[in-house]
Amino acid sequence: GQQVMQIPQYQHVQEGEDFTTYCNSSTTLSNIQWYKQRPGGHPVFLIQLVKSGEVKKQKRLTFQFGEAKKNSSLHITATQTTDVGTYFCAGPDNYGQNFVFGPGTRLSVLP
């Protein structure tokens, strides 16, 4: 079946360092979404990417969709303690009825 993988599983950075998480799908995706879940909280939608090679920015966050639409990345520049949480990518399932979530990358930021 369709699989969505993310690496790394965990990342510990010093405040001010950059951070990148990678998402890979076993199938081509029509679009991909990114969510953030703060510790003890619930996932919150960050962004959706639709076009091949698309790059979108939200302040210090840069999201990219691969040319083949099978992978994506999230890059955070100069991390802050407010960036702590787990970042999930999600893509439509093969039937277009649900999203398949990746296992997430848990980010810790040391002050």
Partner 1 sequence: DGGITQSPKYLFRKEGQNVTLSCEQNLNHDAMYWYRQDPGQGLRLIYYSQIVNDFQKGDIAEGYSVSREKKESFPLTVTSAQKNPTAFYLCASSILPQGTHLGYTQYFGPGTRLTVL
Nearest in space to 22 (alpha carbons), one of 87, 111, 78, 98: 87
User: CB 58 → partner 1: shortest distance, Å?
Assistant: 15
Query: Cβ closer to partner 1: 13 or 46?
Result: 46
Strands, E assignment, 1-111? 4-7, 10-14, 19-25, 32-37, 44-49, 55-58, 61-65, 71-76, 85-92, 99-101, 105-110
Minimum CB separation from partner 1 for residue 16, in Å? 26
Residue closer to partner 1, measured from CB, 48 or 62? 48
Give the interface with partner 1 as residue ranges (CB under 8 A): 30-31, 33, 35, 41-45, 48, 50, 88, 90, 92, 94, 96-99, 101-104, 106
